[in-house]
């Protein structure tokens, strides 16, 4: 089972990636995890990435791709993997395809978490974070007993700049311009599965696993177990 997970910010990719990877007993691989591992280990690629991150710049494709190449060559991905956060654009998708062809492990499916942009704005802009314990509440889905006060520790709740509505809408614009085109790219290759990512987490997980189970694996002819 070799899967790429795509979807806009706020679609629940991080949560679903954990559940799906666990269900199919494959490692979850995210660019964030790869960056942190390389930086922590002090690798040459990690030092290169740290330079850009310290400057507040995006890590260039060539550094990201080199890290992903190394990670996909490790023995624990022999039986499959779930990629979360890569590729982020069509150019990266093309390079990933070439890399996997070299390794003899082409993608089986690309799972798109489909969610309306207005729902994403509601999900993210409604979050409030505790300044003390960092617990995250939601004004609609998981409100604290007292407005502005954390039930866990009594700390002040605040709106993180990343969760402000204007910021969220800008992130969605960037997603539409840079990442959404890979949905069409993979659809043209016949390996795209789209599922509704609204509703309770467990229901979304069931839809995702069900969709992958029903999807014939083009590289092996197997069905996911």
The reported pLDDT for the residue numbered 150 is 97
Q: How confident is the model at residue 31 (pLDDT cuts 50, 70, 90)?
A: confident
Residue 214 annotated to the active site: no
- 160 counts as catalytic: yes
With DSSP H G I counted as helix, E B as strand and the rest as coil, what are the percentages for the chain, rounded to 5? Answer: 50, 15, 35
Model pLDDT, residue 46: 87
Per-residue pLDDT, averaged over 67-82, amounts to 90
Q: From the candidates 36, 47, 131, 160, give the one annotated as an active-site residue.
A: 160
Angle of the 61-72 helix axis to the 31-41 helix axis, nearest 10:
90
Q: Is 2 a catalytic residue?
A: no
Residue 51, CA atoms < 13 Å, CB-side half-sphere:
7
Tens digit of each residue's pLDDT (9 = 90 or more) over 90-112: 999 999 999 899 888 889 999 99
CATH class as words, domain 2-26+79-214 = alpha beta
d(CA 174, CA 170): 6
What confidence category does residue 13 fall into, taking pLDDT thresholds of 50, 70 and 90?
very high
Is 128 assigned a catalytic role?
no
Render pLDDT for 142-164 as a digit per residue (tens, 0 to 9): 999 999 999 999 999 999 998 99
List Cβ neighbours of 165 (8 Å cut-off, separation of 6 or more).
121, 125
pLDDT at 224: 39
């Amino acid at each position: 089972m070799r899967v790429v997970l795509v979807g806009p910010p706020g679609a629940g990719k991080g949560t679903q990636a954990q559940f799906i990877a666990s269900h199919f007993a494959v490692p979850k691989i995210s660019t964030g995890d790869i960056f942190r591992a390389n930086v922590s280990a002090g690798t040459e690629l990690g030092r290169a990435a740290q330079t850009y991150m310290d400057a507040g710049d995006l890590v260039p494709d060539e550094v990201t791709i080199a890290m992903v190449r190394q990670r996909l060559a490790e023995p624990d991905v022999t039986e499959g993997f779930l990629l979360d956060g890569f590729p982020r654009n069509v150019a990266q998708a093309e390079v990933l395809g070439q890399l996997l062809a070299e390794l003899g492990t082409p993608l089986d499916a690309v799972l798109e978490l489909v969610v309306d942009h207005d729902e994403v704005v509601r999900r993210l802009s409604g979050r409030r974070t505790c300044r003390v314990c960092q617990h995250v509440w939601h004004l609609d889905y998981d409100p604290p007993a007292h407005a502005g006060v954390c039930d866990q520790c009594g700390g002040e709740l605040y709106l993180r700049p990343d969760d402000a509505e204007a910021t969220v809408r800008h992130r969605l614009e960037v997603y539409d311009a840079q990442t959404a085109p890979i949905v069409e790219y993979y659809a043209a290759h016949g390996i795209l599965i789209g599922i509704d990512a609204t509703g309770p987490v467990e229901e979304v997980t069931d839809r995702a696993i069900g969709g992958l189970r029903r999807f014939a694996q083009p590289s092996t002819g197997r069905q996911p177990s």
